[in-house]
Amino acid sequence: MASGAVPTTFSTLKTWDSSLGFAKSMDFVRVSDLKSMKSSARKRVSIIRNSNPGQDIAELQPASPGSPLLVPRQKYCESLHKTVRRKTNTVMVGNVAIGSEHPIRIQTMTTTDTKDVAGTVEQVMRIADKGADIVRITVQGKKEADACFEIKNTLVQKNYNIPLVADIHFAPSVALRVAECFDKIRVNPGNFADRRAQFETLEYTEEDYQKELEHIEKVFTPLVEKCKKYGRAMRIGTNHGSLSDRIMSYYGDSPRGMVESAFEFARICRKLDYHNFVFSMKASNPVIMVQAYRLLVAEMYVQGWDYPLHLGVTEAGEGEDGRMKSAIGIGTLLQDGLGDTIRVSLTEPPEEEIDPCRRLANLGMIASELQKGVEPFEEKHRHYFDFQRRSGQLPVQKEGEEVDYRGVLHRDGSVLMSVSLDQLKMPEVLYKSLAAKLIVGMPFKDLATVDSILLREVPPVDDADARLALKRLIDISMGVITPLSEQLTKPLPNAMVLVNLKEISSRAYKLLPQGTRLVVSVRGDEPYEELDILKGIDATMLLHDLPYTEDKISRVHAARRLFEYLSDNSLNFPVIHHIQFPNGIHRDDLVIGAGSDAGALLVDGLGDGLLLEAPDKDFEFIRNTSFNLLQGCRMRNTKTEYVSCPSCGRTLFDLQEVSAQIREKTSHLPGVSIAIMGCIVNGPGEMADADFGYVGGTPGKIDLYVGKTVVKRGIAMEHATNALIDLIKEHGRWVDPPAEE
């Protein structure tokens, strides 16, 4: 493996070794540039920073095998085998302390017109009454800044001392004004001093680039000095969609560019001895968001910095979709002990964000307080900084098998469901609940049909109707999994049999007919000598099943340990994340728990599907939650994807109403992604993942985008949804909705 080494202060680096051929300052090295490096040896690359050169060496390695990007061989969290909260300094936002010595803080953002002082005050009070610690308010111009003084004073008079944060874009002078009354300023490095990105590739000489940095310092320094003077806090908040052309020309539209964009501003703060700030790295794609925060923290470890983190998935959407995306992104990082304040961005009233936000914060606090984890193990195969999926070997047909097992798992991620005997009493209802198509009462698999089912109790041998219903599912290559004890006493032809390691070691499974397909349940924290029995069996899949009642053992870390074991031993079994939720669990806790526990693994490419069980929850809800989780992790796409902003004072239309209208007419387009944005303040880059965009341009007018390019401007709102549909049709992405059955 090619690798190099650089001093631990390696941001904004400039090479001394001409053989590397750098033409510009960079904070990472490409393998292709390391011409003198042999694949089997590490080499120290002599690099010096512009100031404070150090001799401490930090090794670099490719981000993944064959990747051109070298990243520091540095930890991105305190522990790889348990949840330990990352140590940070304390940042004071008014009277609220943020940092590792304090609870994870909860915040949201108002949606009122900031100039509407009474309306904004009322909304802040509702948010505070719901339990938020901090509230952010958009401040886009001088009139809004003037209103902020009245908002703050009115709240204080009503005994509401909740800290207020000004959300600033493109307006340094506005930031200076509002810093006199609000407790914290959020700046977006992509547009505070740079012009809005035009998505142009720019060529810079080193002198040109340095001039750009000097311009940023000139514009940003007065705000830093004012925050120091008034004791204000700051968030340096990068958005994936609003990186400057300068940053994208150097680093691409990437997590690496997000980190460097924030670091340019952080270095200015540090130069001025200002440290009362936090970082954020937000993206609408949870996978990108997780990678960006990890890179940020990895580099902070290299630098010796300890600034707190504000976590959030931007434009997450509404309902279970929005909660799931936030759980995947925020929950993944909380499981690794990262995050000191969080926001769950939903296209809902802001006070509705507080409850799911609190549930996520509690999850993170409990995990870190108990230091949930497993015994230490060496981790060599997981990719922290870029997505590399470990795809298990999908079933192949074996000679002599009477049915086709190749469909029991899906290549893009599988959904398994637990089915009861009662459900078998009404076969057609069961088929529909599994999202199968029905043709003359017979089931057929569709785009979002459940792949396999777990049947904990097999119908009696003489129950011909129930067994016929199961046979029809098996005939369409839907897997039916039954426990060993059931299969031995009431054999079901062509079923797959669920066994545990004890049943394998006792050889009880040998009582089954030769060639029976096995599904093996494992915890992940077993001694390696117990796991070694997996080397001698032919399993169709593994179910990673750690009891939900485990207090000290972390499902995420146990699964990572299991995947390390499988990789070390070249075992390529598909692994399904099996979570059995207790009766009475709140729906939001189920969504957040599944997103945090299974999503934290899937965003690292670890896992081939899900089996979620909650006996007292609606079957359709569990199925939809499973497919939402796979889609949120950028695996299996089974419905239209929406990038929907949470609304704020800049929003130019009723976002919730319009979002509902668009979803009603377009939700049947799997593979199509639509961005619904109240304004374009964060730049069209926010729609990097979207095929089409519906964006507020001016009051009452909508602009339509294809990707990042505006194609139609100024469409009257009453015609905009139909214009969006016409645009989708023009690009060949429209299909008519299915007829109602």
Q: Which domain holds residue 218?
A: 89-368
* Of 592, 611, 631, the domain-final residue: 631
Q: Are 242 and 188 in contact (CB under 8 A)?
A: yes
How far, in Å, CA of 175 to CA of 169, rounded?
A: 9
Classify residue 57: in a domain, yes or no. no
Question: Are residues 337 and 251 part of one domain?
Answer: yes
How far, in Å, CA of 694 to CA of 712, rounded?
A: 10
Question: Are residues 550 and 524 part of one domain?
Answer: yes
* Of 368, 395, 429, the domain-final residue: 368
Q: pLDDT averaged over consecutive 10-residue blocks of the chain (741 residues)?
A: 34 30 32 33 31 38 57 77 97 98 97 95 97 96 96 97 93 95 95 65 76 93 97 94 81 87 96 98 91 95 95 79 92 98 90 95 96 93 86 91 95 97 96 94 93 97 96 97 97 97 94 95 97 96 94 96 97 98 95 96 97 96 96 91 68 74 90 80 62 85 87 90 94 85 53
Q: Give the domain CATH number at 619.
A: 3.20.20.60
* Of 577, 598, 631, the domain-final residue: 631
Classify residue 43: in a domain, yes or no. no
Q: Give the domain CATH number at 316.
A: 3.20.20.20
Question: Are residues 708 and 660 part of one domain?
Answer: yes
Closest alpha carbon to 395 in 535, 530, 515, 544: 515
Exposure string of 374-408, with b = 16+ CB inside 10 Å and e = fewer, is: beebeeebbbbbbbbbbebebbeeeeeeebebebb
Please classify residue 461 by burial: count the beta carbons closer than 10 Å to its beta carbon, then call 0-12 exposed, 13-18 middle and 19+ buried.
exposed
Rg of the chain in Å (alpha carbons):
27
Question: Are residues 658 and 615 part of one domain?
Answer: no
Question: Are residues 482 and 364 part of one domain?
Answer: no
- E strand segments, 207-356: 233-239, 277-282, 310-311, 341-342
Question: Are residues 682 and 608 part of one domain?
Answer: no
Classify residue 19: in a domain, yes or no. no
3-state secondary structure of 440: coil
Question: Are residues 645 and 621 part of one domain?
Answer: no
Classify residue 237: in a domain, yes or no. yes
Between β-strands 442-444 and 673-677, what pairing exists: parallel, antiparallel or unpaired? unpaired
Question: Are residues 438 and 289 part of one domain?
Answer: no
Classify residue 242: in a domain, yes or no. yes
Between β-strands 479-483 and 496-500, what pairing exists: parallel, antiparallel or unpaired? parallel
Distances (CA, A) of 559 to 74, 300, 317: 22, 27, 29
Question: Are residues 680 and 590 part of one domain?
Answer: no
Q: DSSP secondary-structure letter at 171?
A: -
Classify residue 736: in a domain, yes or no. no
Question: Are residues 165 and 124 part of one domain?
Answer: yes
How far, in Å, CA of 415 to CA of 80, rounded?
A: 28
Domain count, the chain: 3
pLDDT at 254: 85
Q: Give the domain CATH number at 671.
A: 3.30.413.10
Closest alpha carbon to 415 in 630, 605, 587, 573: 630
How far, in Å, CA of 367 to CA of 361, rounded?
A: 10
Classify residue 325: in a domain, yes or no. yes
How far, in Å, CA of 344 to CA of 348, rounded?
A: 11
Question: Are residues 435 and 341 part of one domain?
Answer: no
Q: Is the model's pTM score more than 0.85?
A: yes
Exposure string of 577-588, with b = 16+ CB inside 10 Å and e = fewer, is: bbbebeeeeeeb
Closest alpha carbon to 106 in 352, 340, 369: 340
Handedness of CA 245, 250, 255, 261 (dihedral sign): negative
Element (H, E) at 697: strand 692-698
Question: Are residues 671 and 627 part of one domain?
Answer: no
pLDDT at 35: 31
Classify residue 15: in a domain, yes or no. no
